Amino acid sequence: MITEIVGDVIRPILGGLSLTARRLRRDKATVMYPEEKRELPPRTRWRHVLARYENGLEKCIGCSLCAGACPARCIYVEAAENTDEERYSPGERYAKRYEINMIRCIFCGFCQEACPTGAIVLRKDFELANYHRDDFIYTKEMLLEPLAIAGEQ
Amino acid sequence: MGSAAEQKLVKITVNGTEVEVPEGELIVESVKRLGLEIPIFCYHPRMKPVGMCRMCLVEVGFKQADGSVRMMPKPQAGCTLPASENLVVVTDSESIHRDRKGVLEFLLANHPLDCPICDRGGECPLQNNTIFYGPSTSRFIEVKRHLPKAVPLSEYVTLDLERCIQCGRCVRFTEEISGDSQLAFRFRGAEMQPSTFELTDFTSKFSGNVIEVCPVGALTSSKYRFRSRPWDLETKASICTECGNGCNVWLDYRSGKLVRINGRTNELVNEEWTCDRGKFGQEYIDSPERLDRVLLRKADALHESSWPEAMDAIAARFVESGDSSAMLVGPRATNEDLYLAREIVTKTFGSRNLDHRWTKNLPNNPEATAVHSRIADFETARAILIFGNDLSDEQPILYLRVRKAWSQFNVPVVVISDRATSADAFAEAVVRYAPGEEVEILTSLSGMVRGGGGSEDLKRASEILRGGFLLAASSSVFNSASGEATAVALRDLCASAGTPDGYNLFALGANEQGARDLGILPTEGGKDTKRILEACASGEVKSLWLLHCDPFSLYHDRGLVERALENVEFLVVQDILATEATLFASAVLPSCSHAEYEGTYTNIERRVQRVPRILPPKGSARPPWQVFCDLRLAATGAMPFFGPSEVMEAIAKEHSQFAGVSYSGLAGEGCVLASADSALASAGIEGGGG
C-alpha cells in the first residue's frame, strides 16, 4: 500500500518538482512587459515612419507609389509643389497629405519596397492599440520622424 | 471614308502571315489588322508620319518572282513605309528586338529618371515601351544632362525640357491639326527643344491636346500638376458642356473631386481632341461659389430653408400666378430637365411664357434654326462657308473638322465675317462686311451664285460656292440687328447654290439644340425672352423662374434685366453657381452640375448623348428634373418619374424626332435625331426606322 503510494504519487510529484527546480536555474523566457521590452528581430515590420534626410528634409516626394503597391488600399497621398520659400523635400514634389489607415494595413511592407526614396519604413513599434476608429488614421504629422531624432538611426 | 472601298488592295506578308491591306497604308497601321503592334513614339495616326524616333523599325523585304524573299540590308521605319504588293515585313526578329533596345537606350540616356514625380508616370508610352521592348538595366553611368524643368509655356501647359524625346508630336499638332503653328523646334541635334516663337506665351485655343499627344511627361498640364497619379484616379465617360459641340471626354476624379479632363475618341464628334475651354474650364464644379443650400427670402434677407418648405412656397406662388408666371432656361440643362420644365410651365402653372433664347433677335420661324449636316459631313463637303463670328471661338472642335476638311480633303473654305477670324488663314476667299451690311452682302452673293454679276471681292467666293456647300453659322447671327433677315438671306444663298440642305445654324449652348427640339419656346400667344423681361419690369409677370441661367451674363440689355429682376414679385433662381441674379432671388434652389446627375444632351448635329452621374451632388443640390417632378406631385398629384430614363421614354412618346430613343440605346456614340420632317415621313411611311 505505502510503496504503491510512494511509487505512483510522491515520486512523480518529486520528479516534476525537480524538473521545475532545474529549470529555475536557466534564463527566463518571459519579460515584464510593458515595463520591460524585448529587442525585436531586425526585419520586424510594424508601425510606419516617414523618414527624413540628415539635413531634416523629408524623404517622401508624394509619388503615391506606396498607395499603388498597397494591397489593402490603406494609403492616401496628396502631393503638392515645393517652392523656394516653403521647402519640404528636395526636388519639385512633396507629400502635402499622407495618411495610413492602420486598421486596414496588413503590414506587408510593400509600401516600403515600392518607395523610390526610402521614405516610408516599417519600424518596430508595435503598440498600436487605440480606443476610437478615427484614431487609427495616421496622418503625415504622426508618421513623420521628429526633427530632433532625425539622423540618429 | 467613302473612298476606302475603291482603294486597291495589296498582299503583304507580316511575320509569315499574308494579309490584304489598302495600297499605301502605313505598315505601322497594317500590322494592327493582325493584332500585332509596332512600338511608336513620334507616329500619331492623325498626323503625317515623320520617322523621327526610329522606334518603329521593322525588317523589310520583297517577294521575288521565283518565290524567294530579298531582304533589305537595313531595317526601315514602319511609320513611313507604305504597303505595296509583295512586301514582306518582320516585326519580331532577333535583330529588331536588338534595334528597339538600342533606340530606347539612346532615348533613355537623355531622359531623367524622375518617373516617381512625373505626372505622366503610370500612363507613359516611354515607360511602357521600355518595359516591353527596352533593356532591363541601364549601362549609363555618366552624368545626366540638365535642362530647365517646369517651364510654364502658358497658363495651362508646363514644359519639362529634360524629359523631351524630340518626337515632334506637339510641333506637328500645332502645325497640322490646330493650324496655329505656335510650337516649333529650336536648335539642332541633341540640343533640339520644342518652344514657342521667341518664347512668347503658348496661346493656342487647343493647347491642352499637346499634353495628351506628348508620349512622355515633357508637356504636362499646369492645372493637373502633382494633383494625382493615374492609379489613384477613377474615370468615367462623359461629355463636355462648355459649348454645343458635345465633345466626348473622360472625367477623371479622385475622392469625389474632378481632377482632370481628357479627350475621349468619338470619330463622329470630336475625333480625340478637346479645346482648352472644355479641358480646363470645368473648375466651376468644385468652385466655392457653388450653391449648396436652399434659401428662402424672409423679411428682406435670404435664410436657409428646406426643400419641402421651399417647394410649398414656390408651388403656391406659381400656380396662383398662372399665365402671369414665366420661366427662362439657360444652355446647361438636360433634355429631361427641359421636357419637364415645359410640362410644368404649360400644364401645372398654365402659363405660355417660356423661352431658352438669349440673343438680341428672337426668330419666330423654326426653319431659321434648322441644322441639316453632321459634323463629319464637313470632311466630304464640296465647299464650306463659315459665316459670322470666329468659328474657332464658338465651336472650336467643329473648326478643327473644317480645317481637317481643308488640309486633308482639299475642301475649299469661304469665310464671310465682320472681323478677322482664325479660318482666314486657310480660306480660299474671305469676305468682310461692316456690321449691319450682312444681308446686303449675302443677297448680292446669292445673285452672283445664280449667275449674275457683282463686285470683285465676292467673285471668288461665288465661284467656290456655286456648286453647293455646307454652311457653318451659329445662333449668334441673331445678335445682329438684322438677325432674322440674315438667316433668310443665308437660306436663300444655300438654295441658290443648289444645296438647301447645306443650311446649318448651329446652337451655341451645351443643350441649346435640345431646347430647340423640345420646344422650349413661348406657346401660342406667349411671351419670348425680351417680352418676359419687359413684363417682369412692368409687373405684368408676377413670378419668374430662372433655370440654370444668369440673365445678367446672357442677355445684352443689363438695364432691362435689372429692372425685371427688381420688379418681379417672386423670383426663383435654380442654378449651379451663385450669380448676380441670386441677389434678387426670393427662393434659391441649388442645382447639380452636369457631372452630378444623369441625363442626356443634344449637340449641334442633333446627336443625343448620355451623361452618367459621376460626382456626388454638392450639399443639398438636386437635379432640376427631380425638382420639377416633386413640384408636379405637390401641385397636381401627378405620378413622378423615378429616373431620367423614364423621362426619356415620355419624351420619345411625345416628340416624333425622339422616336426610338431610349437610355439603353444611347451608350457609346449616342444617337442622331431624325430631322423634324423626315421623322414625320418615316412615322407615316415606314413606321419609324432605327
CATH number at residue B500: 3.40.228.10
Residue A134's pLDDT band, with cuts at 50, 70 and 90, is very high
Higher pLDDT, B680 or A3: A3
Contact with chain B for residue A80, Cβ under 8 A: yes
- Domain boundary among the residues B506, B526, B545 is at B506
Residues B464 and B385 in one domain: yes
Do A67 and B229 lie within an 8 Å CB cutoff? yes
CA dihedral (B452, B458, B459, B460) in degrees, to 10, reads -140
Give the DSSP letter of residue B568.
-
Do A68 and B231 lie within an 8 Å CB cutoff? yes
Report chain A residues whose CB lies below 8 A from the CB of B116. Answer: 61, 63, 65, 116-117
Q: What is the predicted pLDDT for the residue at B677?
A: 54
Report chain A residues whose CB lies below 8 A from the CB of B120. Answer: none
Contact with chain B for residue A62, Cβ under 8 A: yes
Q: What is the predicted pLDDT for the residue at A77?
A: 96
Do A63 and B117 lie within an 8 Å CB cutoff? yes
Q: Could you give the CA distance from residue B54 to residue B167 in angstroms, rounded to a whole number?
A: 10
Q: What is the mean pLDDT of residues B44-51?
A: 95
pLDDT at residue B78 is higher than 80: yes
- Domain boundary among the residues B480, B506, B532 is at B506
Contacts 24+ apart (CB under 8 A), B25-34: B25/B82, B25/B83, B26/B78, B26/B79, B26/B80, B26/B81, B26/B82, B26/B83, B27/B58, B27/B78, B27/B79, B27/B81, B27/B82, B27/B83, B27/B87, B27/B89, B28/B56, B28/B78, B28/B79, B30/B83, B30/B89, B31/B78, B31/B89, B31/B91
Distance from CA of B577 to the nearest CA of A (A): 27
The CATH number of residue B603's host domain is 3.40.50.740
Residues B339 and B376 in one domain: no
Distance from CA of B145 to the nearest CA of A (A): 16
Contact with chain A for residue B146, Cβ under 8 A: no
Residues B344 and B411 in one domain: no
Question: Which of B149, B228, B232 shows the shortest C-beta gap to A92?
Answer: B149
ipTM above 0.95, yes or no: no
* Segment of A110-119, B438-447, B452-461 carrying the highest mean pLDDT: A110-119
Chain A residue with the nearest C-alpha to that of B232: A68
Question: Which of A67, A80, A116 shows the shortest C-beta gap to B116?
Answer: A116
Chain A residue with the nearest C-alpha to that of B224: A80
Domain assignment present for B103 = no
Q: What is the predicted pLDDT for the residue at B276?
A: 95
Cα angle: B475, vertex B480, B484; to 5 degrees: 65
Q: What is the predicted pLDDT for the residue at A150?
A: 47
Q: Could you give the CA distance from residue B171 to residue B202 in angstroms, rounded to a whole number?
A: 12
The CATH number of residue B272's host domain is 3.30.70.20
Domain assignment present for B101 = no
Contact with chain B for residue A71, Cβ under 8 A: no
Q: Which helix (H) or strand (E) holds B325?
A: strand B325-329
Distance from CA of B227 to the nearest CA of A (A): 6
Contact with chain B for residue A113, Cβ under 8 A: no
Report chain B residues whose CB lies below 8 A from the CB of A67. Answer: 229, 231-232
Contact with chain A for residue B231, Cβ under 8 A: yes
Beta-strand relationship, B57-63 and B76-77: antiparallel
Distance from CA of B461 to the nearest CA of A (A): 54
Q: What is the predicted pLDDT for the residue at A149?
A: 53
Using CB atoms and an 8 Å cut-off, which of residues 84-143 of chain B contact chain A?
114, 116-117, 121-122
Contact with chain A for residue B229, Cβ under 8 A: yes
Q: What is the predicted pLDDT for the residue at B5?
A: 54
Domain assignment present for B123 = no
Q: What is the mean pLDDT of residues B392-417?
A: 95
Do B117 and A61 lie within an 8 Å CB cutoff? yes
Domain assignment present for B117 = no
Residue A29's pLDDT band, with cuts at 50, 70 and 90, is confident
Q: How many domains, chain B?
A: 4
Q: What is the mean pLDDT of residues B343-348?
A: 94
Residues B108, B77 contacting (CB under 8 angstroms): no
Residues B352 and B381 in one domain: no
**DSSP H stretches of helix in B24-173:** 27-30, 94-109, 125-133, 169-172
Task: List pLDDT tens digits, range B598-607.
Answer: 999 999 999 9
- pLDDT-wise least confident of B303-312, B359-368, B452-461: B452-461
Beta-strand relationship, B57-63 and B69-71: antiparallel
pLDDT at residue B367 is higher than 60: yes
Residues B635 and B589 in one domain: yes
Contact with chain B for residue A116, Cβ under 8 A: yes
Give residue B363's identity as a one-letter amino acid code: P
Higher pLDDT, B376 or B363: B376
Q: What is the predicted pLDDT for the residue at B688?
A: 33
- Asked whether the CA dihedral B126, B127, B132, B138 is positive or negative, the reply is positive
Distance from CA of A125 to the nearest CA of B (A): 28
Domain assignment present for B541 = yes
Q: Could you give the CA distance from residue B398 to residue B376 in angstroms, rounded to a whole number?
A: 9
User: Residue B92's CB: how many other CB atoms inside 10 A?
Assistant: 13
Q: What is the mean pLDDT of residues B270-281?
A: 94
Give residue B359's identity as a one-letter amino acid code: T
Residues B240 and B189 in one domain: yes
- pLDDT-wise least confident of B328-337, B437-446, B509-518, B632-641: B632-641
Q: What is the predicted pLDDT for the residue at B682?
A: 43
Domain assignment present for B588 = yes
Residues B174 and B239 in one domain: yes
Residue-range domains of chain A with CATH: 48-149 (3.30.70.3270)
Question: Which of A79, A116, A117 shows the shortest C-beta gap to B226?
Answer: A79
Give the distance, in angstroms, between the CA of residue B470 and the centroid of all CA atoms in the same chain. 19
- pLDDT-wise least confident of A20-34, A113-127, B609-623: A20-34
Q: Report the mean per-residue pLDDT for chain B.
A: 92
Contact with chain B for residue A63, Cβ under 8 A: yes
Do A61 and B116 lie within an 8 Å CB cutoff? yes
Task: List pLDDT tens digits, range B511-548.
Answer: 999 999 999 999 988 999 999 999 999 999 999 999 99
Task: List pLDDT tens digits, range B97-107.
Answer: 999 999 999 99
Q: What is the mean pLDDT of residues B416-422?
A: 93
Q: What is the predicted pLDDT for the residue at A148?
A: 67
Residues B661 and B581 in one domain: yes
Question: What percent of chain B has pLDDT above 90?
Answer: 84
pLDDT at residue B566 is higher than 60: yes
- Suggest the residue from A78, A94, A96, A99 to mutate for an interface test with chain B (most B CBs closer than 10 A): A78
Report chain B residues whose CB lies below 8 A from the CB of A117. Answer: 116
Domain assignment present for B388 = yes
Distance from CA of A93 to the nearest CA of B (A): 6
Q: Is the peptide bond before A34 cis (omega within 30 degrees of 0)?
A: yes
Distance from CA of B127 to the nearest CA of A (A): 15
- Asked whether the CA dihedral B536, B540, B544, B546 is positive or negative, the reply is negative
Residues B271 and B163 in one domain: yes
Residues B302 and B279 in one domain: no
The CATH number of residue B84's host domain is 3.10.20.740
Range of the domain at B627: 295-360+511-683
Distance from CA of A79 to the nearest CA of B (A): 6
Residues B259 and B313 in one domain: no
Contact with chain B for residue A79, Cβ under 8 A: yes
Q: What is the predicted pLDDT for the residue at B212?
A: 96
DSSP string, B339-384: HHHHHIIIIIS---EEE---SSS----GGGG-B---TGGGGG-S-E
Please give the backbone phi and psi of residue B13, each rounded to the nearest 5 degrees, phi first.
-115, 120
Q: Could you give the CA distance from residue B655 to residue B676 in angstroms, rounded to a whole number?
A: 9
Residues B501 and B552 in one domain: no
Chain A residue with the nearest C-alpha to that of B121: A63
Do A81 and B122 lie within an 8 Å CB cutoff? no
Domain assignment present for B495 = yes
